[in-house]
């Protein structure tokens, strides 16, 4: 293994029918592996794909349609497994042996060792093993790909796993994550009784750097979703425990959401102007009032959906207030626009305050 593209002990996989994928991490890791799992399952000749994963990972594995069978194992070399009994190791070896797998693919990140899992495969009689390895695996793996991370940069996990299976010529129809939402989840969402519309769930974070999306990508995604009329639910690992916690978490996103709403309205107006839009014969003041009315409606909607969240109302009101100041005292004087901006502020603040007081939301920002 002399470079990042080299591999050792390459074997014939043309007759592989039953494949075992091994990913012994948490739910997020399993989801990051789903495109590679799809590549295996779609490969010519493959009739069964089983996934050996942790108890936590099994919850995500159940949502991946390409996986035919899920096998659970709390591997003692993984940090979240504690100290499982020796009988568990013996049981999983016996179970793997009974499945008569033709090959196994071990998925890891660069900081993890594949060798315990490779030994597991050897004891289970699995003849072919594909994996990344920093040291030589010799008889433990039929196909080893040299580990080049982090020295030569860190790939996103999806890319890393797809690169691994591509060594066998396997490639998925597409490289998006695979998640099948069960009917029970649809019913649970219905219990929240969210207002009708298009909703997105936003979870801006991950425990491992290789799974994290850059923050500016989240900002841009939220900006586009808001511009398209989407509402979103922010997922936090912990609920805010008080006013300060809520201000630092929900408040930050709320301020951004409010500002994005104002910026979107302003940018839309600028784009239409640049495109030569003539306003269908209406005056600029009339269109300015219309845009402010839309911004006010967005503020009311955010107040209703957020049950009186303060942060979006503050940010929207601040932006609208500056519109009023600019049009009543600045170079581009427009009394109708200034009055409409002030009216929008009053409406947003009033609706937010009423909803907040009647709903008893005393800690949410």
Tens digit of pLDDT for each residue in 73-118? 999 998 766 677 889 999 999 999 999 999 999 999 999 999 999 9
Q: What is the pLDDT of residue 2?
A: 36
Average the pLDDT over each of 62-71, 108-117, 335-344 and give the range with the smallest value.
Answer: 335-344
Query: With bands split at pLDDT 50, 70 and 90, how would you rate the model's confidence at 122?
Result: very high
Distances (CA, A) of 73 to 24, 26, 34, 40: 8, 12, 19, 21
3-state secondary structure of 304: helix
Higher confidence at residue 130 or residue 277? 130
Query: Mean pLDDT for the chain?
Result: 82
Residue ranges per structural domain of the chain: 7-166, 236-359
Angle, CA 196 vertex, CA 260 and CA 347 arms, to 5°: 50
Contact 117, 75 (CB under 8 A): yes
Residue 189 CA to residue 197 CA, distance in Å, equals 13
Peptide bond into 269 cis (omega under 30): no
Residue 138 CA to residue 140 CA, distance in Å, equals 6
**Which of these, 294, 299, 301, lies nearest to 195 by C-alpha position?**
301
Contact 66, 39 (CB under 8 A): no
- The CATH number assigned to the domain with range 7-166 reads 3.40.50.2000
Residue 32 CA to residue 276 CA, distance in Å, equals 45
Query: With bands split at pLDDT 50, 70 and 90, how would you rate the model's confidence at 284?
Result: confident
Query: With bands split at pLDDT 50, 70 and 90, how would you rate the model's confidence at 43?
Result: very high
Give the pairing type, strands 143-146 and 7-8.
Answer: antiparallel
Sign of CA dihedral 55, 181, 228, 250: negative
What are the phi and psi torsion angles at 339 (to 5°)?
Answer: -65, -40
Contact 31, 60 (CB under 8 A): yes
Sign of CA dihedral 95, 99, 100, 104: negative
Q: What is the pLDDT of residue 182?
A: 85
pLDDT at 58 over 60: yes
What are the phi and psi torsion angles at 163 (to 5°)?
Answer: -65, -35
**Which of these, 114, 105, 51, 27, lies nearest to 78 by C-alpha position?**
114
pLDDT at 4 over 50: no
**Which of these, 227, 199, 204, 225, lies nearest to 214 by C-alpha position?**
204
pLDDT at 318 over 90: no
Q: Which residues contact 155 (CB under 8 A, 6 or more apart)?
A: 149, 163, 210
């Amino acid at each position: 293994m002399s470079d990042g593209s080299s591999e050792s002990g390459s074997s014939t996989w043309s007759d592989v029918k039953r494949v075992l994928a091994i990913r012994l991490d948490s739910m997020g890791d399993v989801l990051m592996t789903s495109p590679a799992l799809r590549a295996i399952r779609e490969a010519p000749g493959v009739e069964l794909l089983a996934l050996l994963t942790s108890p936590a990972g099994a919850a995500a594995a159940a949502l991946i349609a390409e996986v035919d069978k899920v096998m659970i194992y709390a591997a003692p070399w993984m940090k979240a497994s504690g100290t499982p009994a020796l009988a568990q190791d013996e049981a999983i070896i016996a179970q793997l042996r009974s499945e008569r797998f033709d090959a196994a693919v071990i998925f890891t990140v660069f900081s993890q060792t594949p060798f315990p899992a490779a030994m597991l495969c050897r004891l289970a009689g699995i003849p072919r093993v594909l994996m990344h390895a920093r040291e030589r695996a010799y008889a433990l793996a039929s196909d080893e790909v040299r580990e080049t991370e982090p020295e030569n940069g860190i790939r996103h996990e999806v890319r890393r796993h797809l690169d691994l299976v591509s060594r066998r010529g396997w490639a998925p129809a597409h490289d998006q994550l695979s998640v099948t939402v069960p009917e029970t989840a649809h019913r649970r969402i219905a219990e929240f009784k969210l207002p009708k519309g298009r909703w997105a769930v936003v979870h801006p974070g991950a425990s491992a750097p290789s799974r994290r999306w850059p923050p500016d990508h989240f900002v841009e995604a939220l900006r586009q979703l808001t511009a398209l009329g989407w509402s979103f639910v922010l997922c936090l690992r912990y609920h805010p425990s008080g006013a300060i916690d809520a201000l630092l978490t929900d408040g930050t996103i709320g301020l951004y959401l409010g500002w994005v709403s104002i910026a979107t309205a302003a940018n839309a107006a600028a784009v239409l102007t640049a495109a030569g839009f003539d306003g269908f014969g209406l005056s600029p003041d009339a269109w300015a009032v219309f845009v402010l009315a839309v911004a006010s409606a967005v503020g009311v909607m955010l107040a209703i959906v957020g049950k009186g969240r303060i942060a979006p109302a503050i940010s929207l009101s601040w932006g609208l207030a500056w519109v009023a100041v600019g049009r009543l005292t600045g170079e581009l004087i427009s009394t109708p626009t200034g009055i409409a901006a002030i009216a929008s502020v009053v409406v947003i603040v009033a609706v937010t305050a009423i909803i907040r007081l009647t709903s008893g939301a005393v800690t949410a920002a």
